[in-house]
Amino acid sequence: MNTQALIKELKFKAVKSSGAGGQHVNKVSTKVELVFDLQNSSEFTKEEKELLLQKLKNKLTKENSLFLSCDESRSQHKNKELVIQRFLKLIENSLKVPKKRKATKPSKSSIEKRIDKKKKQAYKKAFRRKPEL
């Protein structure tokens, strides 16, 4: 994955942020919104796009665009860095193909231990009952 080429495909928009900052918040656009058009991206193969569409389906818009925003910092530049890092991590994690699960059986000794433990527990509980007259 070529991160530099991927970053060039991103579109940024700065808007006024909410939260701490006093009068400064009302004057400066520090919140950064990132938009990535997954459908028209030239960085991913068809298979990768399908995998991303599947894994990010709840984060995508109807036009298959990914929308992220960041307003953690008072600095627009810092927010831009943070949203890019978040985007790259999200893409990286979404492209990972999970390992196939191998079905396993418990060993004979573990089965025997489990049954033995159950018998001991049942024996212990049988002694707690009131005796029948």
Asked if residues 48 and 1 have their Cβ atoms less than 8 Å apart, the reply is no
Residue 18 scores a pLDDT above 80 = no
Residue-level pLDDT at 131:
79
Contact 52, 81 (CB under 8 A): no
In the sheet with 11-15, reading across from the earlier edge strand, the strands are 11-15, 31-37, 65-70
Question: In this predicted model, which residue has the larger pLDDT, 1 or 84?
Answer: 84
Through-space distance between the first and last CA atoms of the chain, rounded to whole angstroms: 78
| pLDDT tens figures, 74-101 | 888 999 999 999 999 999 998 888 889 9
Nearest to 68 by CA among 31, 97, 120, 95: 31
Mean pLDDT, the chain, integer: 88
Give percent of the chain with pLDDT exceeding 70: 97
Q: Is the pLDDT of residue 19 over 90?
A: no
Q: Is pLDDT of 104 > 80?
A: yes
pTM recorded for the entire structure: 0.69
